[in-house]
Amino acid sequence: MQDSVQSTSNTEAFSVERYKPIEKQAPDYPRGALRKGLEGDCTVRYTVNTKGEVESPEVLANCHPLFKNTSLEAAKTFRYTPRMVNGQPVAVQNVHNTFEYRIH
């Protein structure tokens, strides 16, 4: 006689939708940087909240001081569709955006 083992698993449907940018406008080129002919990159880190808005933006290292304010102000205007987990909006931390300042 064989023993029969019945395997059951408790699997639930799990759905995840990534956050997606809706509106991302480039910052204005700082006048002081233009006058000096400066180019560079500035990376901003922030959280995308459950409403798709940017929270707590901060500039990471290696950003010229003349690019900091315009990068932070631009990031604050970004809008996203929020990340969804099982139909509920979820905040996403540690989102990075690099602004490239180039004179053409």
Helix (H, G, I), strand (E, B) or coil at 18: coil
Task: Please tell me the total count of domains within the chain.
Answer: 1
Q: Are 92 and 85 in contact (CB under 8 A)?
A: no
The total of other beta-carbon atoms located within 10 Å of residue 74's CB is: 20
3 Cβ contact list (under 8 Å, min separation 6)? none
Is position 4 within any domain? no
Is position 1 within any domain? no
Tell me the pTM.
Answer: 0.82
Is position 62 within any domain? yes
State residue 94's pLDDT score: 98
- 38-90 pLDDT, tens digit each: 999 999 999 999 999 999 999 998 899 999 999 999 999 999 999 999 999 99
Split at pLDDT 50, 70, 90, the class of 11 is low
- 25-52 pLDDT, tens digit each: 999 999 999 999 999 999 999 999 999 9
Is position 70 within any domain? yes
